[in-house]
């Protein structure tokens, strides 16, 4: 945990450094860093979010992870000025959301899939937003095209499938061509093809230098999608950093699983390596597969199977959030 703590401070300091040379003109953001500091939301009974601080860097996809009820949605809504924090601040490019001159041109958000009037067509839904944001109505058609909804543009929202609704939400978020994109559980309701489409889109958008913050509880999907992760549980920060670092820092080091007819001979050749036996295989800690292979060759022992096992995000996530009750 100390390692994680140090990493958080480091990123917070980096955030401080960038804001000093960020050029701001009337709260139009030129840098899409999201900085959350001491963010807290108390409801009557529950501390939904409790002194949360983190920073999200531009040009990367950041996964925002936590068990159900960890405070992910409340945090995102506080960043977007939809829920007022009990304490703390959240800024995007140095400005609070409410102070942004043209919020939709700075930030796009996808918060819930079923958010359009049932009797309105998808295109008209986008046009209403364009009108409110002072964007030309033609942006509605462009955004429809971007998410592949053009054939359904004139259909009413109630006829949309869950996947189409999710795409419409992403289209709405992209209307203002924002530098920052915030998505709450965007994979919900998407089929495998849709999930792949979204992953490619988000990675492309991050590649263009945008800030992408995606909340999810689908860990395997996050491992494929995210560059960085922020993990929270019970309203508090648990870990933050690059995916590989978070996995590496979690303490559960990699293991090598080897199958051989002569385990004892192999262990002698690998003197001093910690080992355990599992289902007829040797599980070795603190060695690489190459070292095990070389040792086997020297000892003249046959190898029937040799597998490197790295802990994945899911393992780390469960370790980190264990004991933090989801339902409070």
Partner 1 sequence: MRLVRSEFLKIRTTNVWWLFALGAVGLLVVAFAINALNMHFGVLQPPVEAGQNMDPEQAAVLSALAEPVALTSYMVTSGQYFGLMFVMLLGIITVTNEFHHQTATTTFLATPHRTSVIVAKAVAGGVFGIVLWLVTTAVTVPATAIFLDAEGITPALGDGEVIRAVLLNGLAYALWALIGIGIGVLIRSQIGATITAMVVYTVGTAAVSIIVNVLTAWLNWEWLANVQWAMPSLASSLMTSGTSLPGQPDYWVGALVLVGWAVVTGLVGTLLTRSRDVS
The answer to whether the CB of 206 falls within 8 A of the CB of 227 is: yes
> Contacting partner 1 (CB under 8 A), which of 172, 187, 213, 219?
172
Burial label for 297, CB within 10 Å (0-12, 13-18, 19+), is exposed
- Using DSSP, state whether 247 is helix, strand or coil: helix
The answer to whether the CB of 228 falls within 8 A of the CB of 264 is: no
* Helix ranges restricted to H, 262-312: 263-269, 289-299
Q: Does 162 bind partner 1 (CB under 8 A)?
A: no
Minimum distance from CB of 111 to partner 1 (Å)? Answer: 5
Burial label for 286, CB within 10 Å (0-12, 13-18, 19+), is middle
Q: What is the DSSP letter of 149?
A: -
- Using DSSP, state whether 20 is helix, strand or coil: helix
* Selection from 40, 49, 45, 53 nearest residue 9 by Cα: 53
CA distance 113 to 164: 9
Instruction: Name the one range near partner 1 by CB under 8 A: 6-14, 129-137, 212-220, 244-252.
Output: 129-137
Query: Cβ closer to partner 1: 106 or 282?
Result: 106
In this structure, what token pair is assigned to residue 31? 């840098």
Instruction: Name the one range near partner 1 by CB under 8 A: 1-9, 32-40, 99-107, 197-205.
Output: 99-107
Q: Does 104 bind partner 1 (CB under 8 A)?
A: yes
**Contact map string, positions 107 to 126, toward partner 1, x by CB under 8 A:** x-x-xx-xxxxxxxx--x--
Number of residues located near partner 1, criterion CB under 8 A: 34
> Contacting partner 1 (CB under 8 A), which of 7, 8, 128, 273?
128
Q: What is the DSSP letter of 99?
A: G
Q: Does 127 bind partner 1 (CB under 8 A)?
A: yes
Q: Does 136 bind partner 1 (CB under 8 A)?
A: no
Instruction: Name the one range near partner 1 by CB under 8 A: 95-103, 197-205, 220-228, 314-322.
Output: 95-103
Instruction: Name the one range near partner 1 by CB under 8 A: 13-21, 32-40, 81-89, 234-242.
Output: 81-89
Q: Does 100 bind partner 1 (CB under 8 A)?
A: yes
Instruction: Name the one range near partner 1 by CB under 8 A: 77-85, 248-256, 286-294, 305-313.
Output: 77-85
Q: Does 64 bind partner 1 (CB under 8 A)?
A: no
Minimum distance from CB of 213 to partner 1 (Å)? Answer: 15
CA distance 196 to 193: 5
Q: Does 253 bind partner 1 (CB under 8 A)?
A: no
User: What residues contact 222, with CB distance under 8 A and at least 6 apart?
Assistant: 63, 65, 214, 216, 229, 243, 313
> What torsion, rounded to 10 degrees, do the Cα atoms 308, 314, 320, 325 define?
-150
Tokens 């041109």 found at: 105
Minimum distance from CB of 87 to partner 1 (Å)? Answer: 15
Minimum distance from CB of 106 to partner 1 (Å)? Answer: 11
Query: Cβ closer to partner 1: 168 or 269?
Result: 168
Q: Does 103 bind partner 1 (CB under 8 A)?
A: yes
If residue 19 lies in a helix (H) or strand (E), which one and from where to where?
Answer: helix 2-20
- Sites of contact with partner 1 (CB under 8 A): 73-74, 77, 80-84, 97-98, 100, 103-104, 107, 109, 111-112, 114-121, 124, 127-129, 131-134, 172
């Amino acid at each position: 945990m100390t390692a994680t703590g140090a990493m958080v401070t480091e990123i917070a300091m980096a955030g401080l450094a960038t804001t000093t040379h960020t050029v701001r003109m009337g709260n139009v953001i030129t840098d899409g860093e999201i900085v959350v500091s001491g963010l807290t939301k108390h409801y009557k009974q529950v501390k939904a979010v409790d002194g949360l601080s983190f920073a999200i860097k531009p040009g990367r996809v950041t996964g925002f992870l936590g068990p159900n009820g960890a405070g992910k949605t409340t945090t995102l809504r506080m960043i977007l000025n939809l829920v007022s924090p009990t304490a703390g601040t959240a800024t995007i490019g140095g400005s609070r959301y409410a102070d942004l001159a043209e919020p939709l041109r700075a930030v796009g958000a996808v918060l819930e899939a079923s958010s359009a009037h049932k009797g309105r067509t998808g295109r008209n839904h986008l046009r209403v937003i364009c009108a409110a944001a002072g964007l030309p109505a033609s942006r509605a058609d462009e955004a429809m095209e971007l998410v592949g909804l053009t054939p359904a543009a004139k259909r009413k929202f109630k006829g949309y499938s869950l996947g189409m609704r999710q795409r419409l939400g992403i289209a709405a978020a992209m209307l203002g061509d924002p530098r920052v994109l915030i998505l709450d559980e965007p994979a919900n309701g998407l089929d495998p093809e849709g999930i792949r489409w979204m992953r490619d889109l988000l990675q492309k958008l991050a590649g263009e230098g945008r800030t992408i913050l995606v909340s999810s509880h689908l860990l395997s999907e996050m491992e494929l999608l995210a560059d960085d992760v922020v993990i929270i549980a019970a309203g508090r920060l648990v870990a933050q950093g690059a995916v590989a670092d978070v996995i590496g820092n979690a303490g559960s080091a990699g293991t090598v699983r080897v199958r051989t007819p002569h385990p004892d001979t192999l262990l002698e050749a690998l003197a001093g390596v910690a080992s355990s036996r599992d289902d007829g295989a040797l599980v070795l800690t603190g060695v690489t597969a190459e070292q095990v292979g070389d040792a086997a060759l020297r000892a003249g022992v046959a190898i029937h199977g040799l597998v490197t096992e790295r802990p994945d995000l899911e393992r780390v996530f469960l370790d980190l959030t264990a004991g933090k009750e989801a339902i409070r």
